[in-house]
Structure 1
Amino acid sequence: MMPLKISILSLIFLSQTIPALSAKERCNPNDKKALLQIKKSLNNPYQLASWDPSTDCCDWYVVQCDPNTNRIVQFNLFSANISGQIPAAIADLPFLETLVFRKLTNLTGQIPEAISKLTNLKLLRLSYTNLSGPIPTFLSQLKNLTFLDLSFNDLSGSIPPSISNLPNLDALHLDRNKLTGSIPDSLGKFTEKVPDLYLSHNHLTGSVPRSLGDLNFTVLDFSRNQLEGDISFLFGTNKTIQILDFSRNMLEFDLTKVEFPESLTSLDLNHNRIMGNLPEGLSQLNLQYLNVSYNRLCGQIPVGGQLQSFDASSYVHNKCLCGAPLPPCN
């Protein structure tokens, strides 16, 4: 009976250990191969030291596996000492939903077309790098994107009109680049969601397309460009805008009869050529921030609401604006 007992114990042991051994390596071999190629392309940086081919890639730093499929769904490389370009092998991670290359000042080159193959992407953040070249039109193929951040780079050229073909976009960050040309009319033609738009600190010119007045934006930051003309069509009592920043442009219109929505909490129009009076409606708003300095405004600052809670710097250097917190009107 002893040999039989040993045999049964052996079977029990094997039945317990074999699944454990197979479960140990969760990582998909194709994903592991792609990640190792990415590591090689980036010259084996210290931040990827955990990427040991003898270990499970689902346990590696920077990446994350889906618990159900065990496919790589997140790649987040942040503040690493790497140099070179975004590796083409990133295209061989087809299940990626999040892709981040951020605060990598030695990351250069253009945004690679390999990214166009990542059709499952929901979040794409390539920011605080030295990426250059144009914003590629192929980004409009990534229909699942909800967040696109290309800020703090050296991107140049115009904004591709096709960017409005992203139906699920909640936020678009193109700020702090070297973009030129006019704002495409298509940015007022998003068909599903209306994203927050951040276009500040570029070299954009021309007028703001009137099509933007057809949508209910929540955040518009177009500050520090060379935009001209009238943006009063962005306001109205039926709008939902909360934060609007068009400071340091060359806007020129009469503010007197503009009606503001109750939703507005932050308004920055400093350093433009805006004329007229401050509307009484501003005193009805629960403003957290206001700056209309360095314009051509006149008349008394309306009394009430939050308008007297801001200091004089919010109103200075206008043509003949007066009243608290500025000196009294004559």
Structure 2
Amino acid sequence: MQGLMLLNLEHNHLSGPLPQELGGLSNLIWLFLSHNMLEGMIPSSFSRLSLSDLDLSNNRLSGPIPQLGSLATFPEYAFENNSGLCGLPLPPCNGGSTSKGDTPEQLSTNHKSSQGWLIALGVLYFIFFIIGFVIGQLI
């Protein structure tokens, strides 16, 4: 399945953990696994994926969202309704980087600043992806 670019298994009543092996699908750019019963953590191998679109919402996932690779570029809706997930773009995990003394205004400003960087990173990643794709087609 190394040539697989799109994997859509939404609404299939899948259960159990996300397979670590999915992170090895180097050509995968769309991954849709929402509305299942998947549980456990998002494997660190997912950080190696160069995804353009992702939907892991409405499962039973838990733990911190890996902040490397393309996973760090997706908005909240890609991860929502997983009561155990935490970390950007969702609320911080317990023991997160916010201090108890932060006011709601400071937290909002920090979150907006982080979102700006994530959006900029996503745009740059997309541009490099397109350039790489075009160069790959020319070669």
Settle same-fold status: TM greater than 0.5.
Answer: yes
Instruction: Verify the 8 A CA contact 1:256 1:276 in the aligned structure 2.
Output: no
1:107-122 to 2 correspondence within 5 Å?
A: none
Q: What SS class does the counterpart of residue 267 from structure 1 fall into? A: strand
Displacement after TM superposition at 1:250 (Å): 0.7
Deviation per residue, 1:192-216 (Å, 9 max, x gap): xxxxxxxxxxxxxxxxxxxxxxxx3
Q: Partner residue of 1:243?
A: 6
1:91-240 to 2 correspondence within 5 Å?
A: 216=1, 239-240=2-3
Residue in structure 1 matching 2:36, options 272, 295, 298: 272
Residue type matched to 2:12 in 1? N
**2:77 is aligned with 1:313:** yes
Instruction: Verify the 8 A CA contact 1:277 1:300 in the aligned structure 2.
Output: yes
Q: How many angstroms apart in 1 are the aligned matches of 2:17 and 2:46?
A: 15
Residue type matched to 2:10 in 1? S
Deviation per residue, 1:82-118 (Å, 9 max, x gap): xxxxxxxxxxxxxxxxxxxxxxxxxxxxxxxxxxxxx
Residue in structure 2 matching 1:304, options 49, 68, 78: 68
TM-score of the aligned structures, taking structure 1 as reference length: 0.27
TM-score of the aligned structures, taking structure 2 as reference length: 0.63
Q: How many angstroms apart in 2 are the aligned matches of 1:305 and 1:241?
A: 19
Instruction: Verify the 8 A CA contact 1:256 1:277 in the aligned structure 2.
Output: no
Q: Which moved more, 1:294-303 or 1:250-259?
A: 250-259
Q: Partner residue of 2:49?
A: 285
Q: Partner residue of 1:323?
A: 87
Q: Partner residue of 1:253?
A: 16
Number of residue pairs the alignment of both structures matches: 93
Q: What SS class does the counterpart of residue 16 from structure 2 fall into? A: coil
Q: Which runs of 5+ in 1 are unaligned?
A: 1-215, 217-238
Q: Which runs of 5+ in 2 are unaligned?
A: 95-139
More strand by share: 1
Whichever of the two has the greater Rg, that structure is 1
Displacement after TM superposition at 1:319 (Å): 3.0
Deviation per residue, 1:97-149 (Å, 9 max, x gap): xxxxxxxxxxxxxxxxxxxxxxxxxxxxxxxxxxxxxxxxxxxxxxxxxxxxx
Displacement after TM superposition at 1:263 (Å): 0.9
Q: How many angstroms apart in 1 are the aligned matches of 2:48 and 2:20?
A: 15
Displacement after TM superposition at 1:256 (Å): 5.6
Residue type matched to 2:7 in 1? L
Deviation per residue, 1:53-73 (Å, 9 max, x gap): xxxxxxxxxxxxxxxxxxxxx
Q: How many angstroms apart in 1 are the aligned matches of 2:83 and 2:35?
A: 12
Q: Partner residue of 2:129?
A: none
More helix by share: 2
